[in-house]
Amino acid sequence: MLDIAYIRENPDKLREACKNKQLDSSVVDNVLAIDEKRRALIAGVQELRKKANQVADQVKVAVAQGGKPSVEAIEQGKAIKAQLKELEPELKVIEEEFTEAMLQVPNVPAIDVPVGPNESGNQITRIEGELPKFDFTPLAHQELMEKLNLLDTKKAVQIAGFRGYFLKGDGLLLERALLDYSLDVMIKHGFEPMSAPVLVKKEAMVGTGYFPWGNEDHYRTQDDTILAGTAEVALTAYHMGETLTEKDLPIKMVGISPCFRREVGSYGKDTQGIVRVHQFNKVEQVVYTIADEEVTREWHQKMIGYSEEILKGLGLSYQVLLMCTGDMGAGQRKKYDIETWFPAQSKYRETHSASYFNDFQSRRLNIRYQAQDGTLKHVYTLNNTVAASPRLLAAVVENYQQADGSIKVPEVLQSYLKKEVIR
């Protein structure tokens, strides 16, 4: 959510932001129209309350002096009360409309975000690591894992439906090693490890900006709770409604949780393997910073760096992309994706995503802090993937396969898995 004062002062900038993010720009005009009505009603109600107080004071004075209030004062008081009875419910309705309209307005992209309609406008900022060389044709991860009895999708589809999967034996243990290794790296960098609830309330989804835009992407329960697609939701909302102090910042959290996504709009895409699934496990990093975009941008780079440290530790080649306006979320101010090399596909595939929001999420969640000068400000928020499996697991399997059909365990994972090769 943006500050209404900013929206009033920058309507053209916001209309352009909507256009560049492939969103309906009429939301800007809508919120401004409702705001105008709201302000007029607020002014009217305040004026009537002021008059009501003045009349009440006149009545008190008359009574205190042993007299009676004038008929005029009594009639005036009744008239004001009737007007307030009519206007106050109207104001309550318009306030609700105003809040709903404010939630529809997206964040403005940072000045260095490229303008583009979709993924074609993303920019590769750098490529790291050497591509693996094979003297044989590398197998797709699912084929190799099924041969080694690490994966079963056939029975999973019978039980769970499309995109279901079982990880078995060393397949599961390798995933656990990946997640544990990633968690340990983040703990080393001073992040507080947390398990994150999978079921969250609508307020948390709205607060983090996944709703209203991502309504169709998530599963719901009969109790109207939502299965979160990332631990970002719970971690970012952790201090919802609280006022922190500047000395508390930055707050660094790393969460691990199962995640659920309906993958709406991806019908027929990535139907083979376990790159695009409905249920997966993820380690996610979230940071609150002070209300300073330069400080936030520094943290954005640090958080990307932690993910790169993990990929370098795993010996994987990857590329970092600066996402264009048409391929980023409504609430995001700037976003990077990291794509890791999949040799069987001969292409880089997304494995990480890092975004910052400034106060877009914290205004919706009402997370503030008292600055050193005594003023109250909203924290700035960031998040980034640390490790998402089974996608990262699939990348490891494809990159570390050997000619005899075995999988070499990356050196940094050998102490977790207690073996060097999976046969």
Is 276 part of the annotated catalytic residue set? yes
* Cα 281 from Cα 326, distance rounded (Å): 27
Q: Tell me which of 276, 293, 309, 406 is the catalytic residue.
A: 276
- Measured from the Cβ of residue 53, the count of other Cβ atoms closer than 10 Å reads 11
Is 350 part of the annotated catalytic residue set? yes
Maximum Cα–Cα distance across the chain: 107
Q: Tell me which of 163, 175, 182, 261 is the catalytic residue.
A: 261
Contact 381, 362 (CB under 8 A): yes
Helix (H) or strand (E) holding 383, with range, is: strand 380-389
CA–CA distance from 233 to each of 52, 316, 362, 382, 403 (Å)? Answer: 46, 28, 12, 11, 42
Contact 169, 352 (CB under 8 A): no
Contact 233, 200 (CB under 8 A): yes
Is 391 part of the annotated catalytic residue set? yes
Contact 254, 383 (CB under 8 A): no
Q: For strand 251-260 and strand 279-289, is the pairing parallel, antiparallel, or unpaired?
A: antiparallel
Burial label for 134, CB within 10 Å (0-12, 13-18, 19+), is middle
* Contacts (Cβ under 8 Å, ≥6 apart) of 232: 208, 255, 284, 286, 383
Q: Tell me which of 297, 363, 364, 391 is the catalytic residue.
A: 391
Name the residue among 322, 318, 324, 302 with its Cα closest to residue 382.
302
Tokens of 393: 């697991």
C-alpha dihedral, 233 to 234 to 235 to 236, nearest 10°: 50
The backbone torsions φ and ψ at residue 90, rounded to the nearest 5 degrees and listed phi first, read: -65, -40
* 3-state SS, residue 28: helix
Q: Tell me which of 353, 355, 362, 389 is the catalytic residue.
A: 353
Is 163 part of the annotated catalytic residue set? no
Q: Supply the residues annotated as catalytic.
A: 261, 276, 350, 353, 391
